Amino acid sequence: MDKACEAIVAELKALAKPVAGNKKQIAQVATISANSDEKIGELIANAMEKVGKDGVITVEEAKSINDELSVVEGMQFDRGYLSPYFITNADKMICELSNPLVLLFDKKITNLKDLLPVLEAAQKNARPLLIIAE
């Protein structure tokens, strides 16, 4: 079974035609994938051109009937602030931190005990701490 899978993958790679960097070909492939909808295919090709080969494209259902493309530079968070107390500038409704320490964690933080060394380091250096976690 594994050998058959490897043979199929090798054959598919041999038959594959790279389309990287060719917007017209990307639009053609995207159009086929979008049930022959040329408008969607062109939109996907534009998105791929803007984000590059290492970018991320997210498709979301809209509340309107128009299809649109929006590009976000950097990171975007869906949920916003966990608490309104995180807002440091009430006029602009933003949180501004000067030279913060940043902790990125890909899971939920469930045990404050594990976080104590980071909190102590922030306190010791008199720097704000920005925690980004699930």
Q: For residue 72, give the amino acid letter.
A: V
Report the alpha-carbon angle 24-29-30, nearest 5.
95
Supply the pLDDT for residue 80: 72
4-50 per-position pLDDT tens digit: 999 999 999 999 988 877 899 999 999 999 999 999 999 999 999 98
Q: What is the DSSP string of 73-90?
A: -S---SS--SSGGG-SBT
Q: In CATH, which superfamily holds the domain spanning 1-73?
A: TCP-1-like chaperonin intermediate domain (3.30.260.10)
CA distance 108 to 110: 6
90-110 per-position pLDDT tens digit: 898 888 899 999 998 888 888
Supply the pLDDT for residue 66: 86
Supply the pLDDT for residue 53: 80
* Single pTM value for the model: 0.55
Supply the pLDDT for residue 67: 87
Give CA 57 to chain center in angstroms. Answer: 7
Parse the chain into domains and list their residue ranges: 1-73, 84-133
120 versus 54: the higher-pLDDT residue is 120
